[in-house]
Amino acid sequence: MLKLIRTPQKYVQGKDALNEFGKYAKDYGNRFLFVSSKRGLNDCKEKIEKSFEGTDAFRKYEIFSGISSNGEIERMRKIVVDEKIDAVVGIGGGSAIDTAKATAFYENKPVLVVPTVVATDAPCTGLSVIYNDDHTFDRYIFYPDNPNMVIVDTTIIANAPVRFLVAGMGDALATYYEARSCKKVDAPSLENGGISESAMALCKLCNEILFEHGEIAKTSVEKHVLNESVEKIIEAATYLSGVGADNGGLAAAHSIYNGFTEIEGVSAMHGEIVAFGTIVQLLMESAPKDELMKVMDFCYKVGLPITLKDMNIKAENIMVGCEKACVEGETIHNVVGEITPERLKDFVLTADVLGTRYYEEHK
């Protein structure tokens, strides 16, 4: 298998970076559709509009429904055609960005990404997660290219609710361990290529930054302070995690998320469930105790789930999620050894017991 690595064409990050949006966007056309969440538009529109001063660029702002579904993608595609749009811009969190990416792909247009939170690694990846109208997981769409541009205004990220940053760290936490698992079994990356040493280096760096700067970054963003640790965590959760996942692959942690969306009452965010799934994956791999404890310590310190209760999941309801996580084609099968829903259930319950014990020992 030939090794392959892909990245966004352009990645821009820094304080008040959106003040320069128009300068960078002009390389992709003059008529723009902005697919945005309500909050994302409130956070970004003033800066974006100011960045276009003195130009004749056309801007169409459209609030999306809140979920990256087939119906919403079709609605945005119609706007692209009707308004003769040159480029699609996604503003907000993962679902807004995934909707923009899918819209641009089907209409053969460039896609520009403006994350306003870093709750997932969606901004830099060459895929979209598509959901059914009831918010359950439907499928992935894989694209031939990564986004044309990602521009991250860290002032906006630092002023978002801290839970989004923590969830982003949870998503990023899985990056190294899932890539390592894929490499062990010679599974392809999400780009359907072999996993390069460059990709593994990005994944490892992501992991190191999380452990070194995660707790400080969380404390800082709670006070809406932007500093070096926050900048590093934003880059890790956005660029290193996104490019790392694309070129390193997924394994059990993300399959567990996909499965757990089927469980009634679950209230956790994507990255929060992925973090718990990382603990489960380490148990599946019989990881050394010190490695497992390092991950659990990190989750505890930054506020990521280590028990089912943390995600509002009852133990008696997990089997439906385990069955969905283990269907043919899921990336959980990139972990060494055969896995069945019954075995996964045992690992999930073991993780829950360990997490409960951890809380008791750290009262």
Short-list 234, 222, 257, CA closest to 123: 234
d(CA 173, CA 183): 17
CB count within 10 Å of CB 187 equals: 20
138, with CB counted inside 10 A (0-12, 13-18, 19+), is middle
Phi/psi for 39 (5° steps) reads -65, -40
Give the length of the chain.
363
Q: How many helices (H) and strands (E) are present in the chain, helices listed first?
A: 14, 8
d(CA 189, CA 193): 5
Q: How far is CA 147 from the centre of its chain?
A: 14
Short-list 214, 247, 281, 362, CA closest to 8: 247
Residues 6 or more apart whose CB falls under 8 angstroms from that of 210 comprise 169, 172, 173, 233, 236, 298
Residues flagged as binding site for glycerol:
121, 171, 254, 270
Residues flagged as binding site for NAD(+):
94-98, 125, 127, 131
Residues flagged as binding site:
94-98, 121, 125, 127, 131, 171, 254, 270
d(CA 86, CA 321): 41
